[in-house]
Amino acid sequence: MARIKSKNTGPERRVRSLLHRMGFRFRLHGRGLPGHPDVVLPKYGAVVFVHGCFWHRHEGCKYAYVPKTRKAFWMAKFEQNVTRDARVLSSLKALGWKVLVVWECELRDEARIAKRVLQRLRKRSQ
Ligand SMILES: [Zn+2]
Tens digit of each residue's pLDDT (9 = 90 or more) over 3-19: 544 555 689 999 999 99
pLDDT, one tens digit per residue, over 24-60 is 988 887 678 999 999 999 999 999 999 999 999 999 9
CA of 72 to the centre of ligand 1 (A): 22
Residue 126 pLDDT class (50, 70, 90 cuts): very low
Tell me how far apart the alpha carbons of residues 103 and 124 are, in angstroms, rounded to a whole number.
23
Per-residue pLDDT at 28? 81
The average pLDDT across 90-115 equals 96
Question: Can you give the pLDDT at residue 56?
Answer: 96
Q: 2 CA distance to ligand 1 centroid (A)?
A: 31
**Ligand 1 centre from 31 Cα, in Å?**
26
How much distance in Å is there from the Cα of 100 to the middle of ligand 1? 14
CA of 126 to the centre of ligand 1 (A): 33
Write the DSSP symbol of residue 105.
Answer: G
Ligand 1 centroid–CA 56 distance in Å is 9
Residue 125 above 50 pLDDT?
Answer: no
Cα–ligand 1 centroid distance for 8 (angstroms): 20
Return the percentage of the chain with pLDDT > 70, whole number: 89
Q: pTM score, two decimals?
A: 0.85
Instruction: Give the CA radius of gyration of the chain.
Output: 15
Per-chain mean pLDDT for the chain: 89
Give the DSSP per-residue string, 33-94.
STT--SEEEGGGTEEEEEE-HHHHT-TT-TTS---SSSHHHHHHHHHHHHHHHHHHHHHHHH
Share of the chain above pLDDT 90, in %: 79
Q: Using the mean position of ligand 1's atoms as its centre, give its distance from the Cα of residue 23 in Å.
A: 26
How close is the Cα of 95 to the center of ligand 1, in Å? 27
pLDDT at 31: 76
